[in-house]
């Protein structure tokens, strides 16, 4: 449901941005809003609080964003408030960014590694993925020590598992499928 709501509002804003030739500007401004909501959890809680009136929420939005973001984005936020869909704002922003990236031939990827990638490693991986996909790939490096080593790449709904943990899991699964008999070994 959240994805559908997010996509609907994002598509409407994207069409406005496209008509105004402001796709990138809106994307940057929405990224800024996203970062504020993501980093300032209290702000998000206040914005979504059911006891605040719609006008109080609009006043808060105006005090923080008016003059800093396009009026069209402010208007979208007002509509979201009027419809009582504040909790979907982050979904709307994510969907807009996805539409914008798609239009610009950009793919976001997550490279999950046990230790942080240095810039050279990140660039090599980015170039390799860009070459394979025929699109500009931007990588966010996420550190997760549980993968032990290697890399796990997530691109939209695809996962490329070249991690040691993934390899060990596959070996373990294969070992479970092996049955030992007196005469020899057979695969189940």
CATH of the domain at 69: 1.10.520.20
Q: Is the pLDDT of residue 170 over 60?
A: yes
Same domain, 46 and 130: no
Same domain, 143 and 84: no
Same domain, 41 and 90: yes
Same domain, 95 and 145: no
Same domain, 96 and 113: no
Evaluate whether residue 182 is within a structural domain. no
Same domain, 83 and 98: yes
Q: Is the pLDDT of residue 180 over 70?
A: no
Evaluate whether residue 149 is within a structural domain. yes
Is residue 39 a contact partner of residue 52, using CB atoms and an 8 Å limit?
no
pTM here is: 0.73
Q: Is the pLDDT of residue 103 over 60?
A: yes
Same domain, 86 and 12: yes
Count of domains observed in the chain: 2
- Return the HEC string of 64-86: HHECCECHHHHHHHHHHHHCCCH
**By mean pLDDT, which of 53-62, 121-130, 177-186 is the weakest?**
177-186
Same domain, 119 and 62: no
Domain that holds residue 53: 2-102
Q: What is the dihedral of CA 173, 174, 175, 177, to 10 degrees?
A: 90
Same domain, 93 and 71: yes
DSSP type of residue 55? H
Same domain, 96 and 13: yes
**By mean pLDDT, which of 6-10, 19-23, 24-28, 172-176 is the weakest?**
172-176
Evaluate whether residue 185 is within a structural domain. no
Instruction: Give the relative orientation of helices 89-104 and 71-82 as an angle to the nearest 10 degrees.
Output: 140
Query: Where a domain ends, among 102, 131, 148?
Result: 102
């Amino acid at each position: 449901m959240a994805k559908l709501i997010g996509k609907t509002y994002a598509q409407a804003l994207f069409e406005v941005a496209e008509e105004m030739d402001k796709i990138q500007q809106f994307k940057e401004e929405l990224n800024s809003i996203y970062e504020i909501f993501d980093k300032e959890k209290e702000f998000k809680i206040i914005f979504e609080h059911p006891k605040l009136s719609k006008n109080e929420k609009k006043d808060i939005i105006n005090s923080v964003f008016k003059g800093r973001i396009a009026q069209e984005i402010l208007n979208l936020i007002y509509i979201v408030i009027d419809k009582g869909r504040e909790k979907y704002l982050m979904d709307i922003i994510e969907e807009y960014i996805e539409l914008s990236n798609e239009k610009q031939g950009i793919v976001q990827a997550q490279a999950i590694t046990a230790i942080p990638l240095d810039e050279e490693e990140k660039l090599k991986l980015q170039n390799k993925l860009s070459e394979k996909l025929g699109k500009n790939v931007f990588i966010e490096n996420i550190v997760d020590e549980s993968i032990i080593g290697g890399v796990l790449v997530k691109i939209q709904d695809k996962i490329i598992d070249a991690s040691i943990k993934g390899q060990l899991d596959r070996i373990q699964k294969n070992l479970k499928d092996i049955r030992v008999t007196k005469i020899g070994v057979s695969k189940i």
